[in-house]
């Protein structure tokens, strides 16, 4: 979540490195180093500044749990719930800047590692500026120094020597009107048709929950941001693996997420409502993200030659009468079916 879900109250969920996760990285892609994630979720704000977000923190927690399950060596989670127990985990502006500095410290990384950052909360972009900001829990929209400059995170990611760096942002990129969109409508924003000019630097990719000028929606039915829901689903759904190689790469994840988000939003919020996730930036080669269970591979076809498959013991033929039409129906035994259709 990061090129805002609407330059105003945007709920982000940046996963910096989802596409570098992989339980089985291949040669020619990103090297199989260690994987680390920093995940931030903010759901409560000063009511005079920003509206609370029902699913921002739970989205961050869900992403953190999925990355742990995918084998990340360490996942650091900053939420208001955890911060109530240990202050350094509170997602304030000061804590967040310190956490990003420590996380992306070049001295801590090998050149085959993967870096992930996840931010879930409001995002804003002010009229006349190309700068997008993430809103920590103590954000004051009248003081930009209390906001987190996304371009600054880009620059820090660029300096990090990790092999792969991905930012996934679940946030609005226009002036939202819906109560279900993740953005703050009171902020004075640029025209929704104005294209974003600031892109990630070389070596950094960003996957946004929607295209420029669109809203990114939250769903009471799913109890999640729509983008985050299908992003997580795509990491385990066999249908994501389009080439049936048993792995999900970044391109496949993007296609799965884009298709399902677009369809769901159209169905739930009206045919004229559009949310199309967008990938920007460049990565090195194909990026396998996760290896699927062997049972999800393409089923083996019967041999065209050689020894025939074992014949099933046929059942006795049966003739039944359809109650609906009165027609006589012949039930073909399983063994006979295989014999008739064997190559």
pLDDT digits (tens, 9 = 90+) for 73-130: 999 999 999 999 999 999 999 999 999 999 999 999 998 888 888 888 887 777 777 7
pLDDT for res 312: 46
Helix (H) or strand (E) holding 68: helix 56-69
Out of 126-135, 147-156, 206-215, the most confident range is 147-156
Span 218-232, pLDDT tens digits = 899 999 999 999 999
Residues 78 and 150 in one domain: yes
**Crossing angle for the helix pair 93-103 and 150-159, to the nearest 10 degrees:** 20
pLDDT for res 1: 41
pLDDT for res 41: 92
As a whole number of angstroms, the distance between CA 10 and CA 244 comes to 36
> Which residues touch 334 (CB under 8 Å, ≥6 apart)?
312, 314, 315
pLDDT at 198 over 90: no
**341 confidence band (pLDDT: 50, 70, 90):** very low
Q: Which residues, listed in sequence order, are joined to residue 78 by a DSSP beta bridge?
A: 40
Does some domain include residue 2?
no
Does some domain include residue 273?
yes
Residues 258 and 312 in one domain: no
SS3 state at 40: strand
Q: Which residues, listed in sequence order, are joined to residue 37 by a DSSP beta bridge?
A: 75, 116
Residues 339 and 316 in one domain: yes
Q: What is the largest CA-CA distance in the chain?
A: 82
Of 196, 215, 84, nearest in space to 151 by CA = 196
In which region does residue 303 sit, left (phi positive, over 0), alpha (psi from -120 to 50) or beta (all else)?
beta
Residue 329: domain span = 300-343
As a whole number of angstroms, the distance between CA 241 and CA 188 comes to 42
pLDDT for res 188: 56
Q: Which residue has the higher pLDDT, 235 or 200?
A: 235
* E-state strands within 20-88: 35-41, 74-79
Residues 102 and 217 in one domain: yes
Q: Which residue has the higher pLDDT, 328 or 109?
A: 109
**298 confidence band (pLDDT: 50, 70, 90):** very low
SS3 of 277-336: the string is CEEEECCCCCCEEEECCHHHCCCCCCCCCCCCCCCCCCCCCEEEECCCCCCEEEECCHHH
Domain end point (choices 295, 316, 332):
295
Does some domain include residue 8?
no
Give me the chain's average pLDDT, please. 74
Does some domain include residue 165?
yes
**209 confidence band (pLDDT: 50, 70, 90):** confident
Residues 273 and 311 in one domain: no
- pTM exceeds cut of 0.85: no
pLDDT for res 257: 94
Residues 217 and 171 in one domain: yes
CATH number for the domain including 136?
A: 3.40.50.1460
**4 confidence band (pLDDT: 50, 70, 90):** very low
Does some domain include residue 251?
yes
Helix (H) or strand (E) holding 233: helix 226-234
Residues 37 and 147 in one domain: yes
Residue 64 CB: number of other CB atoms within 10 A? Answer: 24
Q: Read off the pLDDT of each residue in 296-305 and give the average, rounded to a whole number.
A: 44
pLDDT for res 300: 43
SS3 state at 247: strand
Ranking 85-99, 127-141, 184-198, 316-330 by mean pLDDT, the lowest is: 184-198
Does some domain include residue 5?
no
Does some domain include residue 11?
no
Q: Sign of torsion, CA 216 220 225 231?
A: negative
As a whole number of angstroms, the distance between CA 81 and CA 57 comes to 9
Residues 217 and 230 in one domain: yes
Q: Which two tokens stand for residue 263?
A: 């369809």
> Which residues touch 271 (CB under 8 Å, ≥6 apart)?
none
pLDDT for res 123: 79
Residues 229 and 319 in one domain: no
Residues 255 and 334 in one domain: no
Contact 19, 225 (CB under 8 A): no
C-alpha separations of 9 from 1, 29, 51, 342 in Å: 12, 37, 8, 61
Q: Which residue has the higher pLDDT, 270 or 337?
A: 270
Residues 331 and 281 in one domain: no
Residues 74 and 52 in one domain: yes
Does some domain include residue 10?
no
How many folded domains does the chain comprise? 2
Span 247-290, pLDDT tens digits = 778 788 899 999 999 999 999 999 999 999 988 776 655 555 66
């Amino acid at each position: 979540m990061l090129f805002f879900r609407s330059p105003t109250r945007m709920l982000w969920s940046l996963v910096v490195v989802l596409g570098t996760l992989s339980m089985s990285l291949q040669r020619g892609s990103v090297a199989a180093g260690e994987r680390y994630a920093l995940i931030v979720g903010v759901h409560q704000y000063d009511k005079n500044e920003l509206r609370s977000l029902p699913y921002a923190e739970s989205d961050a927690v869900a992403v953190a749990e999925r990355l742990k399950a995918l084998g990340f060596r360490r996942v650091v989670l900053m939420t208001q719930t955890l911060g109530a127990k240990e202050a350094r985990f509170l997602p304030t502006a000061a804590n967040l800047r310190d956490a990003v500095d420590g996380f992306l410290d070049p001295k801590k990384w090998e050149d085959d590692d993967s870096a992930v950052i996840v931010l879930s909360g409001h995002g804003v972009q002010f009229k006349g500026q190309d700068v997008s900001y993430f809103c920590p829990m103590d954000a004051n929209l009248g003081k930009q120094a209390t906001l987190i400059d996304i371009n600054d995170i880009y620059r820090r990611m660029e300096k990090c020597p990790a092999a792969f760096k991905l930012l996934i942002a679940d946030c609005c990129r226009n002036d939202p009107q819906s109560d279900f969109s993740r953005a703050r409508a009171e902020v004075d924003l640029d025209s929704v048709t104005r294209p974003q000019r600031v892109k990630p630097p070389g070596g950094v990719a960003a996957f946004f929950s929607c295209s420029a000028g669109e809203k990114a929606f939250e769903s009471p039915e799913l109890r999640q941001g729509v983008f985050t829901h299908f992003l997580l689903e795509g990491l385990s759904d066999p249908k994501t693996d389009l080439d049936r190689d048993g792995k999900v790469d970044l391109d496949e994840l993007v296609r799965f997420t884009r298709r399902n988000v677009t369809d769901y939003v159209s169905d739930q919020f009206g045919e004229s409502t559009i949310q199309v996730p967008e990938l920007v930036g460049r990565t090195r080669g194909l990026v396998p993200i996760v290896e699927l269970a062997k049972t999800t591979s393409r089923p083996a076809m019967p041999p065209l030659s050689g020894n025939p498959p074992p014949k099933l013991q046929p059942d006795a033929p049966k003739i039944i009468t359809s109650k609906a039409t009165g027609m006589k129906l012949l039930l073909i035994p399983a063994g006979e079916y295989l014999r008739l259709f064997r190559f």
